[in-house]
Amino acid sequence: MEVVTITDGAEWNGTLAALPQAHFLQTWEWGVLKSRYGWQPTRYLWRQGGRARAAALVLTRRTARWLPPVMYVPKGPLLDYADESLAAQVIADLESIARREGAVFIKVDPDVREESPVGAAVTALLRRRGWLFSREQVQFRNTVLVDLTPPPEEMLRRMKSKWRYNVRLAGRRGVVVRHGGVAALDVLYEMYAETAVRDGFVIRPREYYRAVWGTFIEAGMGHPLLAEVEGEPVAMVFVVHFGRRAWYVYGASRAVHREKMPNHLLQWEAMLLARRLGCTVYDMWGAPEVLDESDPLWGVYRFKRGFGGEFVRHIGAWDYPVSPVGYRLYTLAMPRVLAAMRRVYWWRR
């Protein structure tokens, strides 16, 4: 097994797409995007006999020049986790990379199902090697997955009856869904900002979303869909596809025309688009940590489950503390720093 770094975008994405659980947060584009915001991307590929066996986009960042870096493998590494010896080697190599770079810790959060023999084996491997379940789950640990392989008629039958009715109702009431493109980015952001104020969550500045959305649109992987009533935008979703999967990453809606159910038709059209793009899974990107009505995500979860998807719990993010003392200081201090930054941002926005 050899470990090499890849510096060509086409080669990297082409290799990733053929690996299990290929994820858009491991793509060349995501690394380039994060490099604009203080992260240094390095792309490692494990080869055996000329064949790619595993890959990891490793992001490295220093919170200050005089502090050691932290490292993160978003939604990776990518490999066949049923191959326990391969998983053990890749994890060990990531530990070595983190030690070589003098990192405080390295974080991984692969899409490995928790409630499965493979998930149990990977969790046991990480614990055995000194990894810790992370207090900071950067990405959603859980999600809802919709199978796109059946014919559309069967996909509709798998929805809850009220959802199926609302999809058809939206069409009858004049809701039209169209592909937005780069020209729609400002409209997308205005709706997203309106939704954030209404639902009480903090968002980043406009320039960040223009960078994210624009990057994936230009790469042919990003798909903004707008729902309109008589030409007026009332809701949006932003879908990213890579390999055989599509993700519903962003969504927003205005307060007007909600009785026409534009969000139901948007999701249906997004699934049909993903299916046309050759995707077999539609990832609805986020579900509650605890399946209880008290969870803040419960309402969103009910909406997503209505489309006939399956709730999936992953093993989540795990940290390897290269420096146990530094790791304890970081995990105690950083939540307080981030909370203070959020308060300042909320006050100034």
Over residues 155-196, the pLDDT tens digits come to: 999 999 999 999 999 999 999 999 998 989 999 999 999 999
Does 322 lie in the same domain as 238? no
The CATH number given to whatever domain includes residue 229 is 3.40.630.30
As for how many domains the chain has, the answer is: 2
Q: Are 15 and 117 in a shared domain?
A: yes
Pair 104, 154 in one domain: no
The answer on 308 and 196 residing in a single domain is yes
CB of 264 within 8 A of CB of 163? Answer: yes
Domain match, 259 and 112 both: no
Tell me the one-letter amino acid at 1. M
Predicted pLDDT of residue 340:
54
Residues 175 and 297 in one domain: yes
Q: List Cβ neighbours of 29 (8 Å cut-off, separation of 6 or more).
A: 9, 13, 215, 216, 219, 221
CA within 13 Å, CB half, 184: 23
Domain extent for 17: 2-140+315-348
Contact in structure between 99 and 322 (CB atoms under 8 Å): yes
How big is the chain by its Cα radius of gyration, in Å?
21
DSSP E strands in 110-202: the ranges are: 132-133, 142-147, 175-179
Would the pTM of this model clear 0.85, i.e. be above it? yes
- Does one domain contain both 289 and 231? yes
Whether 25 and 73 share a structural domain? yes
Tokens representing residue 251 in the block: 């969504």
48 and 180 in a single domain? The answer is no
Determine the Cα–Cα distance for residues 305 and 159; give it in Å rounded to an integer.
8
Q: Are residues 256 and 292 in the same domain?
A: yes
pLDDT, one tens digit per residue, over 88-105 is: 999 999 999 999 999 999
Q: Are residues 175 and 59 in the same domain?
A: no
How many CB atoms are closer than 10 A to CB 110?
26
Is the pLDDT reported for residue 349 higher than 60? Answer: no
Question: What tokens were used for 230?
Answer: 């008589």
The pLDDT value recorded for residue 345 is 39
4: which strand partners? Answer: 45
Tell whether 151 and 282 lie within a shared domain: yes
